[in-house]
Structure 1
Amino acid sequence: MKKGQLTIDELVKINKEELLKDKVKIEKIELRLEEKYMKN
């Protein structure tokens, strides 16, 4: 294994963390949109 090369497990872990971050971002955006529509 070359230096700087990630194992599959590490890649999966990073991928899951990124997906979770994206999910949180999406939920925040959805909440903001709902609040805007409620005000109108």
Structure 2
Amino acid sequence: MLGLLLDMSAFPLYAWITGIRKKKYAREVYDLSNEIIRDA
């Protein structure tokens, strides 16, 4: 029961952290593509 409770509380935290990492990565790719377009 405690293990299930921990899993349920840890999953949103994990999803939130990975979501932030994905957003950060997407942001870096977006900035990089903008720089390439500007230089072209």
Asked if TM exceeds 0.5, the reply is yes
The normalised TM-score by structure 1 is: 0.69
Per-residue displacement from partner, 1:3-38 (whole Å, max 9, x unpaired)?
Answer: xxx632221111000110111111101000000111
State the percentage of identical aligned residues: 15
Count of residue pairs brought into register by the alignment = 35
- Once superposed, what is the RMSD of the aligned Cα atoms? 1.7
Where do 5+ consecutive residues of structure 1 fail to align?
1-5
Greater fraction of residues in helix = 2
The normalised TM-score by structure 2 is: 0.69
- Flag as ranges the 4+ runs of structure 1 deviating above 6 A: none
- Is 1:23 aligned to 2:18, yes or no? no
Where do 5+ consecutive residues of structure 2 fail to align?
1-6
